[in-house]
Structure 1
């Protein structure tokens, strides 16, 4: 058995996949949580196992308490316990507030906010002492891009929950932080944007590029590592200095 194990939700692709691969490279066994794309989740697992890591898939709707509990059960059965939980799963629905279908708002809040609550609740109950919880937020909260009202509102709740949970875990030696990526070159972010829009966004940070999934994975891995133990109850805006 690996000495430490992690659960990463939303790990079938994008930022979540990069996080899963980075944690595995750092020596953690990884449960690759995903919502529905089995082929992509298996691709993540194969990439980890092919270089000597250890990973398994776990299909779970992050807003479903029973499904999330089963994901933690799988981690405990395979690896003896859970030390790190990274909640990366999320969805986005873009529209001005005046035009957004409320059914779309409900979907965003269910996955992004309720999902964070459910995953964190299980993490609190199941994490071994000395562990780490990292939730994914967004720098859109500060950038205030029009059309991102539902998404930013849901992630604002993620940040509040993360800071409160860090204080509720006094005495457990468990850290809780949020990482808030800026514009990052993932399929979800790039979808529907023309080249001019992408170039404009890439030019905004002082580092003059979009973030990459690996940029975010490195930040998360630091918080999950012994080197990050003194960072707790914080929101790290990993965005190249855009705000």
Structure 2
């Protein structure tokens, strides 16, 4: 049973965030072997696919968001075989909306404010790229809604798999809580390496905090809300401030 659980987790990771981690490792090697310094490079996110045809770009963006959530459906399906109460068991539900909201907001503040400082410090030290967080067609009507949906998709994908699913399966495989927390956090940091070492460290810390929180509350929803807030601020804030703020 232990071996089956471990094999299952690596397969789920292989079709989701684990593959992102492998690509991110290759990307950081690529960046470090370029002539220009890491701090002079740009990591782009949320880019338009067909900027000259907004209607088709909307379709590409929505399909990308929907397909990115398929691993979430897979992970929940696998967990339901053992526990029909999922996703309620991991707390991925709306049963405690007010408690989840204030906890999520508090977590977003705890992670977001120091995280911005870490990004700026890492960039100044030459350890991080410039992260261009939103590159959709600026004047398109769908820019903000798509960025909000992308933020929610990232949050649901990462927190349900990296926390809710992996913590359950690795716990069933006999791993101790801190081994689970540390391994999940390191994988989280690794798939952000495409941004540079600041992105890696910041997301490892985020994974440690989120993992510790989950072991105490057994609720994923505050983590999903916190992550959504962080990404909405990053994506929409970048889109709105970039024309006016030089250091972005």
- TM-score when normalising by structure 2: 0.32
User: Structure 1 or 2: larger helix share?
Assistant: 2
User: Structure 1 or 2: larger strand share?
Assistant: 1
- TM-score when normalising by structure 1: 0.32
